[in-house]
């Protein structure tokens, strides 16, 4: 069975700083997909960034980038120039290529301080 | 266009009662998913619909839980004989069907269910 682990329950940084959120996963699959979702207090999950396991290049979306280490089964999220609006819960999620279930970590609460 | 909507936003019920939670997906999205998020945890998959049929209901915890999507659009999650352990946020998501696992799942704001 696949598992996703987020070892940082909470993180706090000053506005404009860079912050990295950690995620590790366990799977025997060779092809799969990894995601970072943001959940603000409104509860609505919002996709931040996605990575296909067969792609060696790390995904980037504006201020958000990932460090995908397939051999180490690590998938960290880096947020550059953090903004107050980045304050939220961040969830790492895994999806096997053969089905459509998202398997989620427990989340990291990120607080951006002014 | 409009996103995924869920009603009610909050539902308080008593142990043993029956509840229905509604999800209205993004127009044109053929795939629909239900997840349950307990306090302090990540969501857990419950069921996935492709059109009107439940393509994967392996995440439903027991036979008290049932979901329908009769016309391939709106879905209702039904919980019978509610228990206090059913208290959670129930999230619904939809995605367009492109035939690949790279479909982005778009989430609604969830229904917070509290069983007293």
Q: What is the pLDDT of residues A8-28, one digit of tens each?
A: 999 999 999 999 999 999 999
B93 or A1, which is more confident: B93
Distance from the Cα of B99 to chain A's closest Cα (Å) equals 10
Give CA B27 to chain center in angstroms.
17
Q: Which of A42-51, A102-111, B75-84, B85-94 has the lowest mean pLDDT?
A: A42-51
Residues of A in contact with B103 (CB under 8 A): 100
Q: Determine which of B32, B43, B46, B108 to mutate to test the interface with A (most A C-beta atoms within 10 Å).
A: B43
Distance from the Cα of B100 to chain A's closest Cα (Å) equals 8
Q: Which residue of A has its CA nearest to B42?
A: A106
- If pLDDT is split at 50, 70 and 90, which confidence band does B102 have? low
On whether the CB atoms of residues B102 and A33 are closer than 8 A, the answer is: yes
Q: Residue B107, SS3?
A: strand
The token duo for B7 is 């009603």
Judged by a CB distance cut-off of 8 A, whether residue A104 touches chain B is yes
Per-residue pLDDT at B98 exceeds 80: no
Size of interface A-B (CB pairs under 8 A): 61
On whether the CB atoms of residues B32 and B49 are closer than 8 A, the answer is: yes
On whether the CB atoms of residues B73 and B80 are closer than 8 A, the answer is: no
Residues of A in contact with B101 (CB under 8 A): 33, 95-100
- If pLDDT is split at 50, 70 and 90, which confidence band does A101 have? confident
Q: Which of B1, B4, B2 lies closest to B110, judged by CA?
A: B4
Backbone phi and psi for residue A9, each to the nearest 5 degrees, phi listed first: -65, -35
Compare CB distances from B109 to A42, A52, A100 and report the shortest one's residue: A42
Backbone phi and psi for residue A85, each to the nearest 5 degrees, phi listed first: -70, -5
The token duo for A110 is 């990120």
């Amino acid at each position: 069975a696949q598992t996703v682990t987020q070892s940082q329950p909470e993180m706090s940084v000053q506005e404009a700083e860079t912050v990295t959120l950690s995620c590790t996963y366990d799977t025997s699959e060779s092809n799969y997909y990894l995601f970072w979702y943001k959940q603000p207090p409104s509860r609505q999950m919002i996709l931040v960034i996605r990575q296909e396991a067969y792609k060696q290049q790390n995904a980037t979306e504006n201020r958000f980038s990932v460090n995908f280490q397939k051999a180490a089964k690590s998938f960290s999220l880096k947020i550059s120039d953090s903004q107050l609006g980045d304050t939220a819960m961040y969830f790492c999620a895994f999806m096997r290529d053969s089905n459509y279930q998202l398997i989620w970590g427990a989340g990291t609460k990120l607080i951006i301080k002014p | 266009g409009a996103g995924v909507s869920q009603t009610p936003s909050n539902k308080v019920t008593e142990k043993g009662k029956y509840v229905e939670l509604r999800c209205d997906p993004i127009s044109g999205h053929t795939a629909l998913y239900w997840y349950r998020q307990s306090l302090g945890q990540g969501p857990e998959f419950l069921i996935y619909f492709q059109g009107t049929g439940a393509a994967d209901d392996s995440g439903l915890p027991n036979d008290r839980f049932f979901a329908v999507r009769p016309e391939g659009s709106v879905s209702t999650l039904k919980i019978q004989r509610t228990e206090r352990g059913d208290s959670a946020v129930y999230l619904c998501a939809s995605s367009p069907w492109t035939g690949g696992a790279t479909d982005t799942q778009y989430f609604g704001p969830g229904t917070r269910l509290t069983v007293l």
